Structure formats: structure tokens, C-alpha cells
Chains A and B, each alone.
Chain A
């Protein structure tokens, strides 16, 4: 079955450390997204990519970086500059530009905590 795989499910970061969250999709979707979700809160957009080798900042990009070298993969790096990284991170993808009215599909998330 096609879907989005996020790994790891749980991740711990030490002070001053960068960590990378993996997101892989086999839905053949062009667009991919990263969201942050804090307890009891909605989703906030970190970065998105509409095509390979291109990405744009979302509402809360500071302290995060991404790459999009392959259509299937959109890893998110949480850098040491992100002072409050503890949150639930969700990756999503959506259909090609011709299907912009199609919904996003989500992975199962990665929970990041500070050690």
C-alpha cells in the first residue's frame, strides 16, 4: 500500500545537537510538507516543497532546515538554533499541481524531546 513513512517514531536531542527526521513517500506526490504540533495545538507549517530541488519556508522555519533531492524524500533537520524543539512533527504530501484540490496525506509523526 502507498503511504508516508516517518522515522524514527521517538527521537531525543541533546543540547547543541542537530537531529534529522526522515520522511519518505511512495504515493508519487510532487508536494511535501513539514508541520509542527504542540500539545493541544493545531498544525504549524515549517517548510514545504512543491517539486524536487525546490522548497519554501513556512510560518515557523527558523531553526529548521530541509532538502529535497529526491521526489520520495523530504528530511527535516532540527538544528541547535531551535531552542524549543520538543513537539510532534508531522510530514505530509499531496497530489501533483494538476490536483491542487486533493487532500494531504500524513505520516504517523515523530515525537522529538530534549534530553
Chain B
């Protein structure tokens, strides 16, 4: 079946630190992959996406590369800010269905 596994949180980093949140997936065929961000009390916002192998999605300094050989889509940012504190969800879509990871909470301290 299709599923997404992402790194357990919570993650706490100092401002300007490097961020990696791991995400691996299981899927038949060729899914599209997404990262969403959720700020407290709000819905999910699309952060970035990749629709085929070796695609790199990027937005607001965040990046993730679709690695088919390792079935991974890890989220990275070179220098996090306090405003990046949120919950991050990895997701995939395949066969008209969407599958989400359990979310990783990030707190960035000044």
C-alpha cells in the first residue's frame, strides 16, 4: 500500500541552525510528493512539491529532493528562523488518494 513515514519530533533548534526532517515513503508507481506546514490554530499550507524523480522542490529557503532510489523526500533548510516554528507534514498523492505523515513539530529558539 501507500504510506508516509516521517521523523518523530519534537525538534528544537537554535536560530540559524541547519534543519533536516526525514521523510520516506512507500508507494506503487510514481507518486507526487509534498511538504506542508501548519502554524498553531491554522490549516495546512503547501510549502513545496515535487512530481517526479530527481525533482527538487523549493520555497522560502526550504528544499526537498524526490529520491526514488531511496524512496525519500527529506526537508532541509540551511538557516532556520524563529518564524519557522511550526509542524511540518510530508505527504504523497497516488491513485487519487492523499497520504500524510504524522507531522514533525519544530521549535526554533533565538
Contact = CB atoms under 8 A, between A and B. Distances in A.
Interface of A: 4, 6, 31, 33, 40-43, 45, 50, 90, 92, 94, 97, 100-109, 111
A100 B44 contact: no
Interface residues of B, number: 22
Interface of B: 32, 34, 36, 41-46, 49, 51, 89, 91, 93, 95-96, 98, 100-103, 105
A101 B89 contact: no
A106 B44 contact: yes
B43 A108 contact: yes
Contacts of A111: 41
B93 A103 contact: yes
B93 A100 contact: yes
Contacts of B100: 42-43
A4 B43 CA distance: 10
A42 B36 CA distance: 12
14 contacts: A4-B43, A6-B43, A41-B103, A42-B89, A42-B100, A43-B89, A92-B44, A101-B51, A102-B32, A103-B34, A104-B93, A108-B42, A108-B43, A111-B41
A26 to B, nearest CB: 16
Contacts of B93: 94, 100-104
B96 A42 contact: no
A93 B27 CA distance: 22
B101 A109 contact: no
B90 to A, nearest CB: 10
Contacts of A40: 105
6 closest Cβ pairs, A-B complex? A106-B43, A42-B102, A101-B32, A106-B44, A108-B43, A43-B100
